[in-house]
């Protein structure tokens, strides 16, 4: 696990953008795993800016999002498809027929839809780089605490905490979904690289449990301790409960030297 601590959320976004941009430049047909939520919005802004400056093309990129609300229309402004269009897809040259979300419409069988999503990821050659945020309860995707650490794409019931955390995004007259389709933890673990972004004080405990806690289904993100290439990008607030800041800083300096000589990615 590579833990990198930055002064603020903007630096976290800029660093994440460097990882994504470097990979796409090295492998133009990158398969990206994408997240929604507040945290990656500034990453997507950085990527859009890079695209507009002519430094980055998504023309051959495929993407798979982590999750989507159950039985939501694509065109609903609350759908994660709408979120991705608003923050990324509509502003870059990605072919939107190559962008996938784990949808399950009314009348469709969520179990069959989950299997079909897994198959689509496999056919695309697997996910090269998965972007993750983290819930205050340690969830990744919508894999809530107690999720199987080897789970695959499936339907999940959201916890009270997640529903409350996300209620800020819904107005009083909008119905907030309580179920979602999500990539499983096993699906996420199959990605070649994982980039988890966490910012803000309310993520500090989940970050501590992820990096330094026991590996436990009670903190799904702790499974990343078992990932070969997990990079954890934190601002100071999200890192505030971690000890060993000096060690992480020292390691980062060493890694920067290695990266300058050999590149960020070593297995593409």
Contacts with ligand F6R by CB under 6 A lie at: 35-39, 66-67, 133-135, 139-142
User: What dihedral angle (degrees, nearest 10) is formed by the CA atoms of 137, 184, 110, 118?
Assistant: 160
**Residue whose token pair is 């890079």:** 50
Whole-number minimum distance, CB 231 to ligand F6R, in Å? 15
CA angle 147, 149, 155 (to 5 degrees): 45
Tell me if residue 95 is catalytic. Answer: no
Whole-number minimum distance, CB 162 to ligand F6R, in Å? 7
Other Cβ atoms closer than 10 A to 122: 10
Whole-number minimum distance, CB 55 to ligand F6R, in Å? 26
Tell me if residue 144 is catalytic. Answer: yes
DSSP code for 32: E
Whole-number minimum distance, CB 87 to ligand F6R, in Å? 12
Whole-number minimum distance, CB 145 to ligand F6R, in Å? 12
Whole-number minimum distance, CB 263 to ligand F6R, in Å? 27
Q: How far is CA 129 from CA 15, 121, 205, in A?
A: 14, 12, 25
C-alpha 260/C-alpha 242 separation (Å) is 27
Q: State the residue number with the nearest CB to ligand F6R.
A: 133
Of 192 and 203, CB closest to ligand F6R: 203
* Residue of 144, 165, 190, 235 marked active site: 144
List the one residue out of 38, 45, 83 whose CA is nearest residue 238. 38
Residues with Cβ within 8 Å of 146's Cβ and at least 6 positions away in sequence, in order, are: 217, 218
- Helix (H) / strand (E) containing 201: none
C-alpha 152/C-alpha 54 separation (Å) is 37
Of 94 and 185, CB closest to ligand F6R: 185
3-state helix, strand, coil in the chain (%, to 5): 40, 15, 40
* Residue of 46, 50, 67, 190 marked active site: 67
Q: Are 183 and 149 in contact (CB under 8 A)?
A: no
* Residue of 137, 209, 227, 235 marked active site: 137
* Residue of 139, 143, 166, 209 marked active site: 139
Of 39 and 99, CB closest to ligand F6R: 39
Of 46 and 67, CB closest to ligand F6R: 67
Of 16 and 134, CB closest to ligand F6R: 134
CA angle 132, 233, 120 (to 5 degrees): 25
Q: Which two tokens stand for residue 113?
A: 């839809």
Of 135 and 184, CB closest to ligand F6R: 135
Residues with catalytic annotation? 67, 137, 139, 144
């Amino acid at each position: 696990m590579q833990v990198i601590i930055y002064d603020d959320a903007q630096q976290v976004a800029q660093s994440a953008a460097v990882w994504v941009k470097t990979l796409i430049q090295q492998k133009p047909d990158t398969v990206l795993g994408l997240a929604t939520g507040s945290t990656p919005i500034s990453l997507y802004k950085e990527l859009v800016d890079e695209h507009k400056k002519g430094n980055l093309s998504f023309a051959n990129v495929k993407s798979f999002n982590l999750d989507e609300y159950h039985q939501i229309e694509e065109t609903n402004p609350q759908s994660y498809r709408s979120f991705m269009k608003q923050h990324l897809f509509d502003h870059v040259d990605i072919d939107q027929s190559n962008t996938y979300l784990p949808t399950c419409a009314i009348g469709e069988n969520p179990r069959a839809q989950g299997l079909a999503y897994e198959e689509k990821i496999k056919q695309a050659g697997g996910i090269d780089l998965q972007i993750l945020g983290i819930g205050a309860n340690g969830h990744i995707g919508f894999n809530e605490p107690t999720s199987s650490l080897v789970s695959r794409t499936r339907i999940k019931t959201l916890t009270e905490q997640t529903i409350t955390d996300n209620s800020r995004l819904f107005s009083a007259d909008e119905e907030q979904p309580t179920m979602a389709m999500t990539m499983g933890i096993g699906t996420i673990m199959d990605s070649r690289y994982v980039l988890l972004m966490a910012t803000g004080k309310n993520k500090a405990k989940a970050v501590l449990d992820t990096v330094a806690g026991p590996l436990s289904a009670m903190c799904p993100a702790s499974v990343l301790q078992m990932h070969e290439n997990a990079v954890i990008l934190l601002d100071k607030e999200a890192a505030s409960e971690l000890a060993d800041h000096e060690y992480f800083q020292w390691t980062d300096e060493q890694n920067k030297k290695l990266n300058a000589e050999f590149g960020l990615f070593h297995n593409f």
